[in-house]
Structure 1
């Protein structure tokens, strides 16, 4: 039998972190050699990191990448390895996959199709390589083939689709197939979003079937550069059959997903397709493939992926891993969360705890401490609970407007997770600020005349104490704003928006509340449940910034969260006009909300969205989880100053007044 043992290598990299990136790559190669792997595919731009942004323009970035490449070459005896890096040719930068075989560089295949949608901006830094073109590149004393290449490794033809190449309609794999390619390697940097792994599986499995090849797909892992999360998705398919799929959201620095492919089966598939092959001129490489005994490749989903709650599981695992990587890559000593007792701060506290719990579960207590070896105070911790106390700091900052219910909610969660917890009364600080301003302006502040100002000062007074705790501990202050609040500006700048990173700014409040109930009652993997969420899950969301007798409720200040989320989806993600939004809402919420409620909510949403872009520009960076993100620096751009949808809202008003629907007669008040 004509068998080859291959692997997809996953690595957790950091932009421009030359030494750690090189170590992860070399360690992965050494592990592959120990497992008798013949062909190893590593991810796209794994030498530099994918998220270098404008540093790709720097000559030093390409030069340093080549220096690291030469160091890697010496570790590739008896193995063929693909590594990703940027290269510069004729004053253009290209995204390259370098094939190294038995301690020799054999050439550079270049990316033909650049991702330029969503969070991707590749056309800013890279040039797309023309189909069919080749040239040469000199490195030191030697020249190497560069461009649209196929490599012939002693009769085994290997080609490349680099990330976006596989996502287009006329993907390069077809041309590789017509040239008799046996194996396609796809080094990729495909950011995480909900359910995206199913799309990747179809690309890999369908590509292997349509092109009659073995297909090796290797993705990056972790929170690489701050916003994008990579889930480490790796898979290998053959002639339409998925052979193996790797672990996702691992806390390891690197790992392998391996399979044994059958060249005879691949070539039989191609023979039966009976298409006319075109001539090719592959780069000839001598390589001695060892004889491999037949093995059974086992493809199976992880248990948590098959439990029917994939979005809940993916959210927990993605954000927890992102928080952990952000912590260690910024060399911070822990997290500080202003724990109000509400859903947002409770969710973030729970996610920090899950990051500790999952890392210890995978790497063990010693492995966890080694990953955070620079944090001295955790080195004597004996379990997850002690690590939680050392790494997570919560502070409840109450005023006369705070209730016993939210205090109980905050304290019960902190006690359950064993976080370090402080209860601080800030009412005196609020009154001091009020007194200063009242003396300056010569009048008293009241709820009748100064409602927003009196609410905001309470939220802002909480920020300095939280920042002080973060600074004392050299810790990360985490902002607690969610996407629903960001869309309508229901947040206090320099108050609850304060922080280094905003972990849940990509998640709507309606779904977040569902997720918290799931975490309490079902739990991560069906086993890791957080009972301390019970008190919070029985509360109605409230900012608690007005006097208690006002019984302030967030959904009364804004609109019901399910309705807000639906309007945001139609208006912002799908770019529907106010009138179209109304038609959609009438269909979606028939029998639930009156038409007048829908009209007023849509008008309120559009006005607040336009008015509050300046706030979104100032929010702490958020983690990207799907196509609903509002972060203007990575996903959704909107002008700070605009017409505020006045024309569009007038059109909706005219439609409502002349459509004759609804119980209310006469004009709708706007």
Structure 2
């Protein structure tokens, strides 16, 4: 038997961070060497970072990328390592992976299928490499093979499927298998989305079965460039079985997952297939050979797959907690901010944002330890001066990083004030109470004096509501400036869809962590956190947080009208579960108003057809009127294919016809239906 220890490394990279990216690659190579790995797969475009955007077209990006590649080559002595780098050939820029063996550069493989939908925009920068095409390019003073290549190192054949290559119907893996490849390496930059890990697991295991190969999958990790989150998936499979996986959402700079594969067993498995038709050629096309000596290994028992939070029945809640918490932590340190400020209203959204900040601290310390956590934030002077390793100490760090401000007006009530204080204390945040009512009344008096009439709720409802939200903005911006902190906006996706947010008020902030998730889920998640909480987190947030009951027992309200009005969000809009259903149908599924109305009648039979029609019409009118608000939202995290971010996912004109004909036809249909029923 020919036994080879292979490894898949995940990396938390940053675009154009040449020295940092190199240091993390070097760390992963050293960790793999320590584990005895001889074949190592690193993530896609790991040298430059995946999210360089238009900087890929800068000449300097190409020059520095190749310079760093040259600096890394000596570190591959005694190993075979894949490294992702953009490469200019002729007048085309290609997304490539190069293979280095024993300190030498063997060749570059071009990505054949580019990701060009949704959050990805690869065709803007790269050209797809044509299948079965090989050329020679001049790099580092040498002629180096480039193209659809396979590599034979020490008798072991390797090929590449680069990220999107494995997601298409006609995968390059089929051709690689016919050419006798033993191992397929998949360097990836696959963004996180709910449930996506299971899809990856299927194509990794199915690829290893269908192609009869060993399969190595290595993804990026963390918040690389601002919006996308990478979960750090690492998988090794053979013969349709998952041999090893890494832990996702780690706070480490790198992790290496390794396993021993039997190359002879892989070959015999392929030979037994009657359907396998190997290519027989006089001269093997596109094959690069090099001498390499693999160490002799003894058979070993496969390590048991660890049972973790991924086996939870509440996987979406767990993934949401860990994905956004990791993204917040990376955004904090990569932006060199010294903490977070949240305008904590005592409602669900601001509570969720504050809880995610505290969770990022708790999860990070639980994952990498207090010392490594403080080292990553060492630019923040005095952080963690209080010694210890207890939950109380973790809360002390949260207090230094998270400031929550409750800003009251005469319309604020004791329920939300108590909720805000209770949540802040439970999380360990610094808590401030600011009375901004005098500022609100000052603006009202100035404007009413100039208009020559008093402002009242009958004629000036929206203006009187919005001035309260806007007056709260300068105070928290000031706190953020004083502390050198990042102000977090608290608007959610449901509000973004219908513009139920005050621009330059509650939308104020440099980052909008929950703008990619709907209000219905936020409320559900907070109830889950109150009663269950995340698994496997050895901290004060590793389990239920009963204090959240003070938020969960409330009906969501903006609390901008006088208390006598008993204002609630759902009275202003519509039931949140219905709003989310209409949003998915209209925006994600692109259904017409009439079709949506018909679907809603089936899904929500408790409401009359006329009422459902009114809500469908309200959604479309508010959606069209408020695209300008969505254009101005602070950056948000991508979590699923229902994202409304116009910069990365959902484009819509700021000015449009507003679905007037479609809504007119809906009203006529409802009238006809009602007259028939009568």
2:46 is aligned to: 46
Cα distance in 2 between the residues matched to 1:594 and 1:311: 32
Residues 69-468 of structure 1 aligned to structure 2 (within 5 Å): 69-274=69-274, 275-278=276-279, 279=281, 280-281=284-285, 282-298=287-303, 300=305, 302-382=307-387, 383-468=393-478
2:613 is aligned to: 599
- Contact 1:13–1:221 (CA under 8 A) maintained in structure 2: yes
Normalised to the residue count of structure 2, the TM-score between the two structures is: 0.97
> Which of residues 554, 576, 580 is equivalent to 2:569?
554
Cα distance in 1 between the residues matched to 2:257 and 2:142: 33
Deviation at 1:528, TM superposition (A): 2.7
Residues 57-72 of structure 1 aligned to structure 2 (within 5 Å): 57-72=57-72
Q: Deviations over 1:293-343 (max 9, x none)?
A: 111223525421112110000000000000000000000000000000000
Q: Deviations over 1:409-465 (max 9, x none)?
A: 000001111100100100000000111111111111110110000000000000000
> Which of residues 642, 652, 668 is equivalent to 1:654?
668
Cα distance in 1 between the residues matched to 2:397 and 2:613: 50
Cα distance in 1 between the residues matched to 2:509 and 2:306: 37
- Contact 1:415–1:532 (CA under 8 A) maintained in structure 2: no
SS at match of 1:438: helix
> Which of residues 591, 611, 614 is equivalent to 2:625?
611
- Contact 1:373–1:379 (CA under 8 A) maintained in structure 2: no
User: Structure 1: which 5+ runs fail to align?
Assistant: 666-670
**1:491 is the counterpart of 2:506:** no
Normalised to the residue count of structure 1, the TM-score between the two structures is: 0.98
Cα distance in 2 between the residues matched to 1:364 and 1:76: 30
Deviation at 1:529, TM superposition (A): 2.5
2:545 is aligned to: 530
Distance 1:354 1:411, change over 3 A: same
SS at match of 1:376: coil
Cα distance in 2 between the residues matched to 1:179 and 1:326: 44
User: Structure 2: which 5+ runs fail to align?
Assistant: 388-392, 537-541
- Contact 1:417–1:532 (CA under 8 A) maintained in structure 2: no
Cα distance in 2 between the residues matched to 1:337 and 1:377: 21
Deviation at 1:594, TM superposition (A): 1.9
Cα distance in 2 between the residues matched to 1:384 and 1:141: 53
Residues 497-512 of structure 1 aligned to structure 2 (within 5 Å): 497-512=507-522
Deviation at 1:400, TM superposition (A): 0.3
- Contact 1:399–1:425 (CA under 8 A) maintained in structure 2: yes
What count of residue pairs does the alignment treat as equivalent? Answer: 663
SS at match of 1:529: coil
SS at match of 1:499: coil
2:26 is aligned to: 26
- Contact 2:188–2:218 (CA under 8 A) maintained in structure 1: yes
Deviation at 1:377, TM superposition (A): 2.4
Cα distance in 2 between the residues matched to 1:401 and 1:420: 24
Distance 1:143 1:653, change over 3 A: same
Distance 1:210 1:645, change over 3 A: same
Deviation at 1:661, TM superposition (A): 7.7
Deviation at 1:141, TM superposition (A): 2.3
Cα distance in 1 between the residues matched to 2:62 and 2:355: 41
Distance 1:300 1:140, change over 3 A: closer
After alignment, is 164-173 or 287-296 more displaced?
287-296
1:587 is aligned to: 602
Cα distance in 2 between the residues matched to 1:456 and 1:662: 43
